[in-house]
Chain A
Amino acid sequence: GNSVTQMEGPVTLSEEAFLTINCTYTATGYPSLFWYVQYPGEGLQLLLKATKADDKGSNKGFEATYRKETTSFHLEKGSVQVSDSAVYFCALWARSNFGNEKLTFGTGTRLTIIP
C-alpha cells in the first residue's frame, strides 16, 4: 500500500541553521506530494506541494522537489527562524488498495529552533 517515511525527530537547530527533513514515499501510480505544518496550538496547514515529477514546491523560504527516481520529497530551508518551530508532516495523495484516492501522512517531525 501507499506509505510515507519521514525523518524521526525531534530535531533541534540553532537560528539561521540549514534545515533538511527527509521524506521518502511508496505509492502506486503518480502521487501528489505535500508538506503540512502544525504550529503549537493550531491546526494542520499546507506548507507546500508538488503534483508531478521534478516540480518544486516553495513557501515561506521552504522548498521541496518531487524526485521520482529516488521517491523522495525532502524539505529544506536555508536559514531557519524561531517561528519555524512546529511539527512537519510529509504526505502523499494517491489511490489506495481499496481503489479510493486519499491523503496518507508520515508520522511527523518535531522541529525546535533555539535562538
Chain B
Amino acid sequence: EAGVVQSPRYKIIEKKQPVAFWCNPISGHNTLYWYRQNLGQGPELLIRYENEEAVDDSQLPKDRFSAERLKGVDSTLKIQPAELGDSAVYLCASSLNAGGGTEAFFGQGTRLTVV
C-alpha cells in the first residue's frame, strides 16, 4: 500500500512568488495534517483536517497561507506571496482518526527554498 505522497520534493522560488504543495494521504485516513519543519527543529503543526473540515488552523499564518482538502481526500497547501522566512520542509501526514494514541504517517516532505 502506498504511503503518504507529497509533491514536489523540492521547490526553489523567488520571494513574493506563489507556491503550492500537494499531498495524497493514505487511503481511508480521515485525518490529514500539514506541518512545517525549520532547519534543526521539530515539525510544527500548521493545520489539521478531519475529512474536509479544517478543525485546527490556529497556527496557520492566514495572511499568506491557505489550504484546502476538497472531497476529504488529497490536500493542497499554498503560500502567496512567499517570504524568505518560509524556507523550510513542509510535511504532510495522515492518520485513521485524531485519537491520542493514533499513529500519524508522514510523507517525505517538500523542501522549499525562497531566494
Q: Do A and B bind each other?
A: yes
Task: List A residues at the B interface (Cβ < 8 Å).
Answer: 4, 31-32, 36, 41-46, 49, 51, 89, 91, 93-94, 96, 98, 100-108
Of the 9-residue stretches B13-21, B69-77, B78-86, B97-105, which lies at the interface with chain A?
A: B97-105
A110 to B104, CA, bound (A): 21
Q: Which of B29-84 contact A (CB under 8 A)?
A: 33, 40-45, 48, 55-56, 58
- B103→A100 contact, CB < 8 A: no
A50 to B43, CA, bound (A): 20
**Residue B4 CB within 8 A of the other chain:** yes
Which B residues touch A32, using CB under 8 A?
100-101
Which A residues touch B41, using CB under 8 A?
107-108
Which B residues touch A41, using CB under 8 A?
108
A107 to B55, CA, bound (A): 25
Counting residue pairs across A and B whose Cβ atoms lie within 8 Å, the total is 59
Chain A residue, CB-CB nearest to B6: A43
Which A residues touch B103, using CB under 8 A?
46, 49
- A105→B100 contact, CB < 8 A: no
Task: List B residues at the A interface (Cβ < 8 Å).
Answer: 3-4, 33, 40-45, 48, 55-56, 58, 91, 93, 98, 100-101, 103-109
Of the residues B4, B98, B100, contact of A31 by C-beta under 8 Å? B100
- B42→A93 contact, CB < 8 A: no
Listed by A's residue number, 21 A-B pairs whose Cβ atoms lie within 8 Å are A4-B42, A32-B100, A42-B108, A43-B3, A43-B109, A45-B106, A49-B103, A93-B100, A96-B58, A100-B58, A101-B98, A101-B100, A102-B45, A103-B33, A103-B45, A103-B104, A104-B45, A105-B42, A107-B41, A108-B40, A108-B42
Chain B residue, CB-CB nearest to A102: B45
Which A residues touch B48, using CB under 8 A?
100, 102
Shortest distance between the CB of A89 and any CB in chain B (Å):
5
